[in-house]
Amino acid sequence: MSLNRFLSISLILFIHQQVQAQESKKDRTGFSYGAGFYGGLASNKNAMFYNGSPDKVNNIASVFNIQTNYEEVQMLLNDDFKVVEYPSKMNYNPALGLIGNLGYYFTNNQEIYTQIAFSRLHTDGQFVLELASPAQNNIDTKNYVNGDIVATESRFDIEIGYHLRLTETKKYNPFVECAGNINIVNVLTHTMSVSSFSRSLISASTYSVSSNQKQGGTGAGISLAFGYETQLKPKMYCSFGIHGSMKKIHLLSDASLTPHADLFLRFTF
């Protein structure tokens, strides 16, 4: 084989390979699907639903209004008591959630998508009991005991939005997203405890809960996201960024418009 023929064949193969690579990068129209993770902070304003104060549906007074409960704590503390302080702050722990999405690219850079996210949130705080007997020291005249409040909830977020990739020739291409949000919140557990005494605030609640009726609610909002995307393989992409939203969260009659922010990592095909 002559050198010229060899070089010609090599050039044709190289050009063919480059064309295929470019096509695999650019030909993106059609359906896409993916999954990923996110981690972030929910608004602590919503967590105040769980602080157990008398104005809340799930309140500590409803537990101690049951005579047998009061007497059990009275025996544990060997004293009469009353609740004198409720948590002034209830903070959600940072949460890690799961993401699933389905979309349709009508151009290489524009997509209409639906995304579903699931997470579980945890919050806790302390309330204060004042005992009838004075403290056994010369410093305090009043005697106090702390109790604990713990709650968990689940959240489903459904978003329908628009994805715009701003460039397509770089290794990491920036993109923006905007979406409408529907969120579903369910209270899973809400308990209070003093020493070894523990009770569900849901069971003692003034709100009737049956097997087909749960505490929680459905709200709505809007979200914006910004991030970067890179291609790992033909038809496989990795994206990461920050996602922010303003959502109305409903926990029974408690409803408030609150900000939320999280970081996400997604893989799409």
- Residue 6 in any domain: the answer is no
Per the listing, tokens 């993401």 go with 99
Give the CATH number for residue 133.
Answer: 2.40.160.20
User: Are the C-beta atoms of residues 28 and 105 closer than 8 Å to each other?
Assistant: yes
> What's the domain range around 180?
31-268
| Token pair for 168 | 């397509």
- Residue 66 in any domain: the answer is yes
State which H helix or E strand residue 36 sits in.
strand 30-41
Separate counts of helices (H) and strands (E) for the chain: 4, 11
Q: Model confidence over 160-213: pLDDT tens digits?
A: 999 999 998 899 999 999 999 999 999 999 999 999 999 999 988 766 555 445
- Residue 174 in any domain: the answer is yes
- Model confidence at 141: pLDDT above 60: yes
- Residue 19 in any domain: the answer is no
Handedness of CA 79, 81, 85, 86 (dihedral sign): positive
Q: Model confidence over 80-103: pLDDT tens digits?
A: 999 999 999 999 999 899 999 999
| Token pair for 228 | 């970067």
- Residue 251 in any domain: the answer is yes
User: Are the C-beta atoms of residues 58 and 123 closer than 8 Å to each other?
Assistant: no
What's the pLDDT at 19? 45
- Count of domains in the chain? 1
What's the pLDDT at 137? 59
- Residue 21 in any domain: the answer is no
Among candidate residues 147, 150, 151, 152, the one with its CA nearest the CA of residue 193 = 147
List of residues 6+ apart from 120 with CB closer than 8 A? 95, 152, 153, 154, 155, 188
- Residue 86 in any domain: the answer is yes
Instruction: Compute how many other C-beta atoms are within 10 angstroms of the C-beta atom of residue 43.
Output: 17
- Residue 247 in any domain: the answer is yes
> 229-264: b or e for each residue (b if 16 or more CB lie within 10 Å)?
bebeeeeebbbebebebebebbbbeeeeebebebeb
